[in-house]
Structure 1
Amino acid sequence: MESAADSKPWRAIIHNGLWKQNAGVVQLLGLCPVLAVSSSVVNGVSLGLATTLVTALAGAAVSGLRHYIPNEIRNPVFILLIAALVTCVDLAINAWLHGLYLVLGIFIPLITTNCIVMARAEAYASRNTVPEAALDGLMMGLGLTAVLGVLGAMRELIGRGTLFSGAELVLGDIGHALTLHIVPADAGYQFLLALLPPGAFFGLALLIAGKNYLDARARTKVQQAILSPATTL
């Protein structure tokens, strides 16, 4: 049975990927897809999950091969591994989700150059075990996916008055039933600023500010908890 001490590294990896070192709102890596593809929930989450798959598999591959790769050529080899994985994901989406592939376009191949994937391969996977590297890649990807999903929901809701539009690109005809029209479809509502790149910048700024506020509030509570026993003595 796993002890509490043994589970701490896993908890730290999960916490870092999803919150403390979130790639989207803390490290600010991969801003190109964050700002360009997050015009809807479906687009953002789809690209985020594709990136998550590549990041997790790349972390595991780099960790498993790190002892066999000469230090002088490790970066080119890492890029080659990542490019091979991205190509597989790109071809799979093109074959099985062609409509989504047409929407995401060049941003799927650009996962190869995403700073998140390469940064985790160099900074973490090349120095840790395969399970830890795979989990780190998975959590970093899911953290980015969460940011893409929330930002996409904000922009889609404000910009079009809908949620989950384009779900049919992933789920087929049944996806039409999942689209929520918060503003009636016949109202012709559209707030273009939210759908354009400036809207992405404003939305991301709000998410960063919200996270900083929650972190500051948590630190204040911890300080109060530490000081309160001293004041009662």
Structure 2
Amino acid sequence: MAKTVVQEFTKGLWAEIPPFRLVLGLCPTLAVTKSVDGGIGMGIATTFVLVCSNILISLLRNVIPKQVRIACFIVIIATFVTVVELLMQAFTYALFLQLGIFIPLIVVNCILLGRAEAFAFKNKLISSLADGLGIGIGYTLALAALAALREILGNGTFYNIPIFGPSFQPFTFMVQAPGAFICLGLMLAGMNMLGKK
């Protein structure tokens, strides 16, 4: 049992890391990773929703009728997204403004619906909790890594702290849409090369 729980947790940290291995959740991945704080903020918000929805769906898996399970999953996910949105408005308003429309769009993030359908609806509470936490942490780490690369090259800062001298000329396209695609492509290529070794 403990070995299975550890496996469910660790798979999300490398083997099934959402943007790079499962290639899911790319819209917010590309949109909110202009800065490290935005990437980490979105990752934590998504992790909270993922863990809470996995737990509730696992607990209700024998009650939810199979014919309406997707609709039930969306209602559960939307409830926790609303909780996250209200908490961010109350306690991290600057981050809330930075992430903007992408907070409510967590509802339609295919990572959450995919984990609900493929895992939480078929497994018990502890395994579903481990799965949600592992996938969420892996997603947060992926967003933070992509955001760090884009922020360092595009602004010359890390977590809004300058790391190069005043003569540094940033590659400003890295914090724009083309830079997001280029960085994601390079990181996907790196992950595939590491995976083959």
Question: TM over 0.5: same fold?
Answer: yes
Letter in 1 for 2:33: S
Is residue 151–residue 203 contact of structure 1 (8 Å, CA) maintained in 2?
yes
Q: How far 1:84 moved relative to its partner? A: 0.5
Alpha carbon RMSD of aligned pairs, Å?
Answer: 1.2
If the length of structure 1 is used for normalisation, what is the TM-score? 0.82
1:130-141 to 2 correspondence within 5 Å?
130-141=125-136
42, 50, 62: which one aligns with 2:45: 50
The amino acid across from 2:141 in the alignment is A
CA contact (8 A) 2:36 2:144 kept: yes
2:60 counterpart residue number: 65
Verify: 1:122 aligned to 2:117, yes or no: yes
Aligned pairs for 1:19-168 (under 5 A) are 19-165=14-160
1:100 and 1:61 map into 2 onto residues whose CA distance is 27
- Write the letter of the residue equivalent to 1:195: V
Question: Offset of 1:202 from its aligned partner?
Answer: 1.2
Q: Deviations over 1:201-232 (max 9, x none)?
A: 11111211111122211xxxxxxxxxxxxxxx
| 1:208 aligns to 2:175 (yes or no) | no
Inter-partner Cα distance in structure 1 for 2:78 and 2:9 = 25
Give 1:93's aligned amino acid.
Answer: M
Q: Any conservation in 2 of the 1:24–1:143 contact (CA below 8 Å)?
A: no
What fraction of aligned residue pairs are identical, expressed as a percent? 41
**Structure 2 counterpart of 1:183:** 164
What amino acid does structure 2 have at the position aligned with 1:209?
A
Distance, in Å, in 2 between the alignment partners of 1:65 and 1:136 is 17
Deviation at 1:188, TM superposition (A): 7.4
2:170 maps to a residue whose letter is Q
Q: Which residue of 2 aligns with 1:9?
A: 4
**Whole-angstrom distance in 2 between the partners of 1:116 and 1:136:** 12
CA distance in 2, matches of 1:183, 1:51: 32
1:7 is displaced (CA, Å) by 2.8
Contact 1:159 1:193 in 2 (8 A): yes
- The residue type paired with residue 191 of structure 1 is F
Normalising by structure 2, what TM-score?
Answer: 0.96
State how far apart, in whole Å, the 2-side matches of 1:78 and 1:15 are.
Answer: 24
**Deviation string, structure 1 residues 25-72 (Cα, Å, up to 9, x no partner):** 011111001000011111001100100010011000000001011111
Mark the runs of 5 or more structure 2 residues left unpaired by the alignment. Answer: none
Residue 68 of structure 2: SS of its match in structure 1?
A: helix
